[in-house]
Structure 1
Amino acid sequence: MTGPTLTELSNRARDIFRLVVEGYIASGLPVGSRTLAGSGGVNLSPASIRSVLQELQDAGLLAAPHTSAGRMPTEIGLRLFVDGIMQVAEPSAAERAQIERGLASGGTIEAALAAATSALSEMSAGAGVIMVPRREPRLVQLSFVPLAPARALAVLVAEDGAIENRLIDLPAPMPPSVLEEASNYLTARLAGRTLAEAVSAIRAEIAGGRSALDAASAELVQRGLAVWSMDAAQRPVLVVRGQANLLDDTALGDIERVRQLLDELESAEAIAGVLDAAREAEATRIFIGSENRLFSLSGSSVIASPWRDNEGRVVGVVGVIGPTRLNYARVVPMVDFTAQSLGKLIGQDGFSRK
């Protein structure tokens, strides 16, 4: 269902609609005709205001949760407000400083991102999220060390000196010569590449019969690649902070929605999918309620922006998740500024790669 456009609303309907949305965002409560009449923003009687509110409700832009209550914006109404009425301001100097302090805290990348996420959560009154970039170091060597007749240790060495080990089960006892052949083959093709780059080339070579490996060595290579690929896919890619902010006073009247949202926030893989939808955006994206399938049950909104390295490549997404009454005009520039700051700082020498 789509609602009317702004040009289809009269000036007074547009003014009343804006006041209802802004009042709802500020309080989390429906806005009534008497409140609007007393605000000084509308020079109409309560009866005239009620007539306009009914028109906006009939158009699908507002809803009345109770017969005698005021109105609140629908998801369609919020989308119209965000796209056509909302005026976005720059973050304040204090807000910019708080975000930059988090990113300048030093230590590991993960620690700095966690600090920035916490700052974003605190300022937005939502849950701050950052998709941590999957680090793809250039590799030097992958070797197999025999441990038992049917077990080996896969040792991966990166150019930055990082070493990671994984235990792998062998399909059958293998002599040291097979382990050595597989190690030499992998090292020759991994050197100077990321794992993702090497895996694609190696598997194509083996599948095409161009590897000159015997069956046992080829099986070992495939197992070695599988354990590292699986490990990379299962690494956490998100930093989430501020779930407690979702439990404010207005949430107590809608505890089931909040419970549903907290359950949704437990799924790192699902949230990563949500943020991934913003990766190709040129600017900050806003998903309101059911516009995103993951948060359709809790009726929550997502404000997300991609962040890029100094070569312009997207390496992650930062955002805020919260109720649909998020202060979009304030949160959007915060998220955008955080994304820009991440792009400037990530990869600089101030971040430890350990």
Structure 2
Amino acid sequence: MPSLPLNEMNSRAREIFRLVVEGYLDSGQPVGSKALATADGINLSPASIRSVLADLERLGLLAAPHTSAGRMPTESGLRLFVDGMMQVAEPSQAERIAIERELARPGPVEDALAKTSAMLSSLSACAGVVMVPAREPSLSQMSLVPLGNGRALAVLVGEDGAVENRVLELPPGTDASALEQAGNYISAQMAGRTLAEAVAAVKRELADERASLDAAARDLVERGLAVWTEDAARRPVLIVRGQANLLDETAIEDLERVRSLIDDIERSEQVAALLASARDADSARIFIGSENKLFSLSGSSVIASPYRDREGRVIGVVGVIGPTRLNYARLVPMVDFTARSLGRSLGRFTGAG
């Protein structure tokens, strides 16, 4: 059922709705009419409050998990609250200092990303996630070294001196001259280019029959590039820390949901796809429960914000994953602040921008 717009709710209904949502987010428990009757500014009897709660339940904004229990917000109610009523609380000075101090520590970029994920997990009591930026270093050369038994070692050298290698299966009868020819050709195409740019250039030349290669060398070129592009596609793109935080005091009552959530987080490609949908956002995006298919069964929420390099280009996404009972008002600005701090921190690393 579609939610009633806030401007169509009277002030009494809005205030009771706000108190129920805030009470539930704070305690994780349904909020009853007796508790609401003692709240400041609510001059209504429990019977009158129950009448308002029933109206909000009919609108699909609240739900009663058990007979005679209090009310808790539905996903539609949470969305209405987050979009129209929430008053965000900026990170405290201590939190800001802790985030910036941690990211200012020297070390490789991978350490900065891992620390960011762990820090968000610690500050939020959720699982912290960072989508790792795609690393596109410029390349220098590629060599194909015979290993025997129908295999060769494909060695990729970056302009920054980084060296990586992969084992390549060779077609029967491949000789050393074909390996050398293929390696020389790929190196010529790769010099000063990223892997993606080199692959595109080679594909164009091969399609146009402009490459001066014999059939064996051509086959090796295609195999050599394929092993690298496939490898890049399989590399993990997420750093996740703090899954244990999801096993909080309320998890005992809902172990199946927590198990489902942890299983969902293990599906790194799908989590990365969800985070990627926040890349174009100006600030944090909030995904509540079934609004995303991945976490629909576990009833979980994601707060994600893109982080940018010094030129303002989006290079990744950072966020938290937890139950729908999150302190959105605190965590949304915290995720945004962390994203900005991480972007500035990565500006220190070569290739981050």
The answer to whether 1:62 aligns with 2:62 is yes
Name the aligned partner's letter for residue 330 of structure 1. Answer: R
Q: State the partner residue of 1:212.
A: 212
Residue 180 of structure 1 is matched in structure 2 by 180
Give the whole-Å Cα distance in 2 for the aligned partners of 1:97 and 1:116. 13
Matched, 1:23 2:37: no
Letter of the structure 1 residue corresponding to residue 111 of structure 2? A
Separation (CA, whole Å) in 1 of partners of 2:194 and 2:338? 28
Question: Aligned residue for 2:264?
Answer: 264
> What number of residue pairs does the alignment pair up?
352
Do the aligned residues in 2 keep the contact of 1:318 with 1:339 (CA within 8 Å)?
yes
AA aligned opposite 1:177: S
Query: Percent of aligned pairs with the same residue?
Result: 66
Deviation at 1:347, TM superposition (A): 3.3
How far the C-alpha of 1:273 sits from its partner, in A, is 1.0
**Code of the aligned partner of 1:324:** T
Are 2:13 and 1:46 aligned? no
1:281 matched to 2:290? The reply is no
What residue identity is the alignment partner of 2:63? A
8 Å Cα contact 1:246-1:322 kept in structure 2? yes
Contact 1:33 1:49 (C-alpha < 8 Å) held by counterparts: yes
Alignment of 1:159-308 (within 5 A): 159-308=159-308
Q: Deviations over 1:53-74 (max 9, x none)?
A: 0000000000000011000000
Give the corresponding residue for 1:80. 80
Q: Distance in 1 between matches of 2:105 and 2:347?
A: 14
Cα distance in 2 for residues equivalent to 1:62 and 1:204: 58
User: Could you state the TM-score of these two structures normalised by the residue count of structure 1?
Assistant: 0.97
Per the normalisation by structure 2, the TM-score is 0.97
Aligned equivalent of 1:136: 136
Equivalents in 1 of 2:142, 2:276: separation in Å?
31
Amino acid at match of 1:307: Y
Unaligned runs of 5+ in 1: none
SS in structure 1 of the partner of residue 250 of structure 2 = helix
Say whether the 8 Å CA contact 2:137–2:351 is kept in structure 1.
no
| Cα distance in 2, alignment partners of residues 312 and 215 from structure 1 | 45
CA RMSD, 1 decimal: 1.4
Name the residue aligned to 1:310: 310
Q: Cα deviation per residue 1:107-152 (whole Å; 9 max; x = unaligned)?
A: 2212122112111111111111001112111000011111215211
Amino acid paired to 2:252: L
Over 3 Å counting, the alpha-carbon distance change for 1:83 and 1:309 in structure 2 is same
Distance 1:193 1:128 in 2: 34
Letter in 1 for 2:130: I
In 2, Cα distance between equivalents of 1:229 and 1:352: 19
SS across alignment from 1:331: helix
Distance 1:203 1:211 in 2: 10
CA separation of 1:245 and 1:149: change in aligned 2, threshold 3 A? closer
Cα deviation for residue 212 of structure 1 reads: 2.1
Task: List runs of 5+ in structure 2 lacking aligned partners.
Answer: none
Q: Could you list the per-position Cα deviations for residues 203-254 of structure 1 after superposition, in whole angstroms to 9, with x for gaps in the alignment?
A: 1221222222221111100110111111111111111111111111112111
1:36 and 2:33 aligned: no
1:291-332, Cα deviation, whole Å (9 max, x unpaired): 011000000000000111111211100000000010000000
Q: Which has the larger displacement, 66-75 or 144-153? A: 144-153
8 Å Cα contact 1:289-1:298 kept in structure 2: yes
Shift of 1:28: 0.4
Aligned-partner SS, 1:120: helix
Deviating runs (4+, > 4 A) in structure 1? none
In the alignment, the residues of structure 2 paired with residue 7 and residue 257 of structure 1 have an alpha-carbon distance, to the nearest angstrom, of 34
Contact map agreement 2:103 2:115 (CA 8 A) in 1: yes
Match of 1:152, SS state, is strand
